[in-house]
Amino acid sequence: MFSKGKKFIGIILSLIFVVVLAGCTNKKTSTSSDKLNIVTTTDFYGEVAKQVVGNKGSVTSIISNPAVDPHDFEPTTKTAQIVSKADVTVANGLGYDSWMNKLDKQDGTYVKIGEDVMDKKTGDNPHIWYNPQTMPKYAQYLADELSKQQPKNKKYFQENAKKYIASLKPVKAELSKLKTASQKVTDKEVYVSEPVFDYSIKATGFKVGNKEFEKAVENGTDPTPQTIKTMQDNIKAKKIAFFVLNTQTDSKLVNNLVDLAKKNNIPVLKVTETLPKDKTYTEWMLSQYKAMNKILQGEK
Summarize pLDDT for 146-167 with one digit per residue, the tens: 999 999 999 999 999 999 999 9
Q: Please give the pLDDT value at position 34.
A: 87
- For residues 173-187, average pLDDT: 95
- For residues 263-282, average pLDDT: 97
Counting Cα atoms < 13 Å in the Cβ hemisphere of 201 gives: 28
Q: Mean pLDDT across the chain, nearest whole number?
A: 90
- For residues 191-216, average pLDDT: 98
Share of the chain above pLDDT 70, in %: 87
Q: Please give the pLDDT value at position 33.
A: 53
| Spatial contact of 275 and 281, defined as CB atoms under 8 Å apart | yes
- For residues 163-174, average pLDDT: 98
Q: Across the chain, which distance is largest between two alpha carbons, in Å? A: 65
Conformational region of residue 220, where left means phi above 0, alpha means psi within -120 to 50, and beta covers everything else: left
Q: Please give the pLDDT value at position 5.
A: 43
Q: pLDDT tens, 29-69?
A: 454 458 999 999 999 999 999 999 999 999 999 999 999 99
pLDDT band at 90 (very low <50, low <70, confident <90, very high): very high
Q: Please give the pLDDT value at position 48.
A: 99
> What residue spans define the domains of the chain?
11-167, 170-296
> Would 11-167 and 170-296 be classified into the same CATH topology?
yes
Stated pTM of the model: 0.89
Question: Is pLDDT at 124 greater than 90 in this prediction?
Answer: yes
Check whether domain 11-167 has CATH 3.40.640.10, yes or no? no
Question: Is pLDDT at 10 greater than 90 in this prediction?
Answer: no
- For residues 160-183, average pLDDT: 97
Q: Please give the pLDDT value at position 250.
A: 87
Check whether domain 170-296 has CATH 2.40.50.100, yes or no? no
Q: Please give the pLDDT value at position 282.
A: 98
Q: Please give the pLDDT value at position 298.
A: 87
